[in-house]
Amino acid sequence: MLWDKPKCIVCEKEIKEDDVVVVKMRYPKRKGFTEIKAFLRNEGKFICENCFNNKSY
């Protein structure tokens, strides 16, 4: 799971660079993190723009 590509939690579509996504996650306790992509991949759940617009989550 650490190196898996991020996927939409609804339609399982792989999230590619420059895709518009919504990320569901808890607000982080820590401050000052620099590895944003890694943090989002480990802590967030992605919803692609199509699924978000269709409200199918």
User: CA nearest 24: which of 51, 50, 43, 4?
Assistant: 43
Task: Tell me if residue 42 falls in helix, strand or coil.
Answer: helix
Cβ atoms 6, 46 nearer than 8 A: yes
Average pLDDT over residues 16-31: 87
pTM of the model: 0.76
Sign of CA dihedral 57, 46, 2, 33: negative
Position 26 pLDDT exceeds 90:
no
